[in-house]
Structure 1
Amino acid sequence: MARKTDTWEILSAPDLDWQDATQAIRAGQQRTHQQEHSEVLYPTSSFVFKSAAEAAAKFGGEEAGNIYSRFTNPTVSMFEERLAALEGAERCLGTSSGMAAILATSMALLKSGDHVVCSRNVFGTTHVVFEKYLKKFGVETTFVSLTDIGGWKAALRENTRFLFLETPSNPLNEVADIRALADLAHENGSLLIVDNCFCTPILQKPLSLGADLVIHSATKFLDGQGRCIGGAVAGSNALVEEVFVFMRSGGFTMSPFNAWVFLKGLETLPIRMKAHCEQALALAAWLKEQDWVEKVYYCGLPEHPAHELASKQQKGYGGVISFKVKGGRKEAWALVDNTEWISITANLGDTKTTMTHPATTTHGRLSEQEKQLAGISENLIRICVGLEDIEDIKQDLLRGAARIA
């Protein structure tokens, strides 16, 4: 049932029992007295008060309401409520980027002397944040194999504050057993934080599998068209509140315009993810048959070592494939450079097919030893399969492969 305030009508309570496709379009929507159909964009830095007393009450927390867009903004709030509904979270917080979500969460939950266990197979910049920057403040991180439960268990300490992972992993499509790692974390008094960027809540809901927080780069599939930078943290109200308090001071804030774009992106997320999955599975099967391909990494393939696990905890296998060409960097670059229209960019989650060479881009700041441990070889290419005709994607890859010396 709709609720009304002095300014707007809130059309969807967060506990409505809708399916994902409906949540993605209707959850969190607010409507002003103008009765607009599309969500309103509030491009304002601050909000005015009726009196000094009202200002004092809102600043003091005795009265709810918007104060300043670094804290809250109605457009951002709509995005947060919608994503929270999709993830099955009590609360969601929008941030300025996916990395801002990771750093804000770390700054809010960690202190000097704490310990983190993180999978090796994370986005390269995530690795840098834990290994280089948090280390400066006395936080130690142990990196382990994503799929080795024994390795995770052995790495735990009394001061381990949280376990951090992304699944499927970037770029090798390894899959973690979220339920098993959640149980392991909780037995140790630690939290489990899952980067859900590759799957989105349409394909995977980590909170329902025991995770405590979910991280998103909204820049990727949530937007879906490569338009804006943003991130999000979702989970219990208590944990997200800790991150919010830090963000209120730290300023890792999502802009209202970007939130409005993400709202539009969420509306088509279910149908886009279905198409991405279909396209990626078809391309992965085709790549396996090419004589210039050494190996394909996609958890949707039956021979993938985690295919059975992915089938249990995901509703689909996602849109990201990695594969090794026969040869090394020279051959990989030749393929990338001689395609005609596939976008050479490190972004992913776009309607446009994108391709990158992880060893020199997304994971380029890792040491050679770190790359080796993470499986990032010189002949590895990552492709995020877009929504163009699949036969056209194949033909462009063949153009690139024809130039491999």
Structure 2
Amino acid sequence: MEQAKVDKSLIGVGSATLSVWAGEQSGHPYGATQTPIVASAAHAYSDIDQWYEVALGQQPGFIYSRMSNPTVAVLEAKLSVLEQAEAAVAFSSGMGVISSVLYTFLSHGKRVVSTKDSYGGTNKIFEEFLPRMGVDVCLCDTLDHQQIEAQIAQGCDLLYLETPTNPSLKILDIKRLVAAAKKVGALVVADNTFATPINQNPLSLGVDVVVHSATKYLSGHGDVMGGIACGSKVLMEQVRHYREINGAALDPFAAYLIIRGIKTLALRFRQQQASAKAMADFLLTQTLVESVNYPGLEQHPNHLIAKQQMRGFGAIVSFVLKGGMDAVKLLLPKLKYAHCAGNLGAVETIYGPARTTSHVENTLEERQALGISEGLVRISVGIEDTDDLLADLKQALAATATELENK
């Protein structure tokens, strides 16, 4: 099936330029300056032989939107460039792409190695769904690289990484773990949602397949769902085949919104990261705060690794409140410039505890086993003025502290 062509003149230009122009260099029908939304479910052919050749992939063209779509193809081309990949495949949600990639490459009798720190939905696949298929799942302590390497050496068909992790912002040494995986011939998959292609390109570090929840930073406006996988043409053909048969194709209207969102990704992320660092520094000074998670802090256990493999530290900050969930329930309603919601990566700042955001699928006991405190709050920092976000957090923490003291 046809994918949009990428102009080689884009090689070497900056990420902001790529975000705008990648996948759209060849122009659009009718001289349109923006990617058209092609809403047709099917594409007609008067020449039966040509139709057949397109269906077999022997010549470019489109047949049916579950297989490929002109609007979706532009998005796939754009992400291919941003992630330095040969090809990409778009899906209807982040979990759609994560589950499809895992189910494409894992089957009965195979072994997957990952970490305990991963998005709650991903963790559910590891704990609940893959074992049903007869897949051996090994989840290691996230910061124990030696343990991960030892488990890989015992046998591994697929290594799954998420870095930075959601919501505790742990950092994995991608090159080190890729080296261990390649020794046993394992495929390496990495979730790059938090870092985005602006900050990190896992394929350049040896990863085989990169996945994104496009719902988050790529779209950037909290109004659409999507997911995307990037990698070699050979691997993406397998992933595309799984998607074609299982049906989690991305709608062209959603693809258009994600394309539009990506064009401001670099600009948005610049402001969001600057505010995130300021908020992390501020939280370190607060007596009500037990700990702060942000890779840009020198105190972060893997700060140096983050500096080596990332171009920035991201726009997510998480922290643990003294007083646990009782304190969280007092703090969140006091915020003026924030949504309390189960999303991230939008232009608006979003707060939420792990039990209603990243790990809502998990029970209290499961979250405790994963080391996720009930007092943990994740901030997805938006594009608002930094001073306003700091003032808002300061007043909310002060009011919460007063209430807790008076109890």
Which TM class, normalised by the smaller chain length? over 0.9
- How far did residue 152 of structure 1 move? 0.7
1:6-405 superposed matches below 5 A: 12-13=7-8, 16-29=11-24, 30-156=26-152, 159-401=155-397, 402-403=399-400, 404-405=403-404
In the alignment, the residues of structure 1 paired with residue 122 and residue 139 of structure 2 have an alpha-carbon distance, to the nearest angstrom, of 12
**373-382 or 82-91: bigger deviation:** 373-382
In the alignment, the residues of structure 1 paired with residue 140 and residue 353 of structure 2 have an alpha-carbon distance, to the nearest angstrom, of 23
Would the alpha carbon gap of residues 370 and 77 (structure 1) be closer, same or farther in structure 2, given more than 3 Å must change? same
Q: Secondary structure at the match of 1:193?
A: strand
**151-160 or 240-249: bigger deviation:** 151-160
Equivalent residues of 1:229, 1:258 under 8 A apart: yes
Equivalent residues of 1:356, 1:382 under 8 A apart: yes
Would the alpha carbon gap of residues 149 and 9 (structure 1) be closer, same or farther in structure 2, given more than 3 Å must change? closer
**73-82 or 61-70: bigger deviation:** 61-70
- How far did residue 176 of structure 1 move? 0.4
1:5-35 alpha-carbon deviations (Å, 9 max, x no partner): xxx9967348744322221111111434411
Letter matched to residue 354 of structure 2:
P
Letter matched to residue 294 of structure 2:
Y
Q: Secondary structure at the match of 2:157?
A: strand
- How far did residue 163 of structure 1 move? 0.8
- TM-score normalised by length of structure 1: 0.94
Equivalent residues of 2:174, 2:205 under 8 A apart: yes
**158-167 or 19-28: bigger deviation:** 158-167
Equivalent residues of 2:200, 2:310 under 8 A apart: yes
- How far did residue 240 of structure 1 move? 1.0
Letter matched to residue 93 of structure 1:
V
Equivalent residues of 1:9, 1:33 under 8 A apart: no
Would the alpha carbon gap of residues 207 and 9 (structure 1) be closer, same or farther in structure 2, given more than 3 Å must change? closer
Letter matched to residue 18 of structure 1:
V
Q: Secondary structure at the match of 1:94?
A: strand
In the alignment, the residues of structure 1 paired with residue 155 and residue 51 of structure 2 have an alpha-carbon distance, to the nearest angstrom, of 41
**42-51 or 174-183: bigger deviation:** 42-51
- How far did residue 43 of structure 1 move? 1.2
**197-206 or 367-376: bigger deviation:** 367-376
In the alignment, the residues of structure 2 paired with residue 130 and residue 305 of structure 1 have an alpha-carbon distance, to the nearest angstrom, of 26
1:205-251 alpha-carbon deviations (Å, 9 max, x no partner): 11111111101000000011111000000011111111111111111
- TM-score normalised by length of structure 2: 0.93
- How far did residue 369 of structure 1 move? 4.6
Letter matched to residue 173 of structure 1:
L
**356-365 or 212-221: bigger deviation:** 356-365
Q: 1:5 matched to which residue of 2?
A: none
In the alignment, the residues of structure 1 paired with residue 29 and residue 191 of structure 2 have an alpha-carbon distance, to the nearest angstrom, of 38
- How far did residue 146 of structure 1 move? 2.1
Q: Secondary structure at the match of 2:276?
A: helix
Which ranges in structure 1 are unaligned for 5 or more consecutive residues? 1-7
- How far did residue 345 of structure 1 move? 0.6
Equivalent residues of 1:146, 1:174 under 8 A apart: yes
Would the alpha carbon gap of residues 134 and 11 (structure 1) be closer, same or farther in structure 2, given more than 3 Å must change? closer
Equivalent residues of 2:142, 2:172 under 8 A apart: yes
In the alignment, the residues of structure 2 paired with residue 112 and residue 248 of structure 1 have an alpha-carbon distance, to the nearest angstrom, of 22
Q: Secondary structure at the match of 1:377?
A: coil
Equivalent residues of 1:11, 1:31 under 8 A apart: no
Equivalent residues of 2:5, 2:77 under 8 A apart: no
Letter matched to residue 44 of structure 1:
S
- How far did residue 40 of structure 1 move? 1.5
Letter matched to residue 306 of structure 1:
N
- How far did residue 371 of structure 1 move? 2.0
Would the alpha carbon gap of residues 90 and 15 (structure 1) be closer, same or farther in structure 2, given more than 3 Å must change? farther
Instruction: Name the count of aligned residue pairs.
Output: 399
Equivalent residues of 2:350, 2:382 under 8 A apart: yes
- How far did residue 294 of structure 1 move? 1.5
Q: Secondary structure at the match of 1:259?
A: helix
Q: Secondary structure at the match of 1:163?
A: strand
**23-32 or 34-43: bigger deviation:** 23-32
In the alignment, the residues of structure 1 paired with residue 6 and residue 165 of structure 2 have an alpha-carbon distance, to the nearest angstrom, of 37
**273-282 or 335-344: bigger deviation:** 335-344
In the alignment, the residues of structure 2 paired with residue 71 and residue 159 of structure 1 have an alpha-carbon distance, to the nearest angstrom, of 34
Equivalent residues of 2:166, 2:358 under 8 A apart: no
Identity of matched residues, %: 34
Equivalent residues of 2:212, 2:229 under 8 A apart: yes
Letter matched to residue 207 of structure 1:
L
RMSD: 2.0
Q: Secondary structure at the match of 1:42?
A: coil
In the alignment, the residues of structure 1 paired with residue 188 and residue 313 of structure 2 have an alpha-carbon distance, to the nearest angstrom, of 22
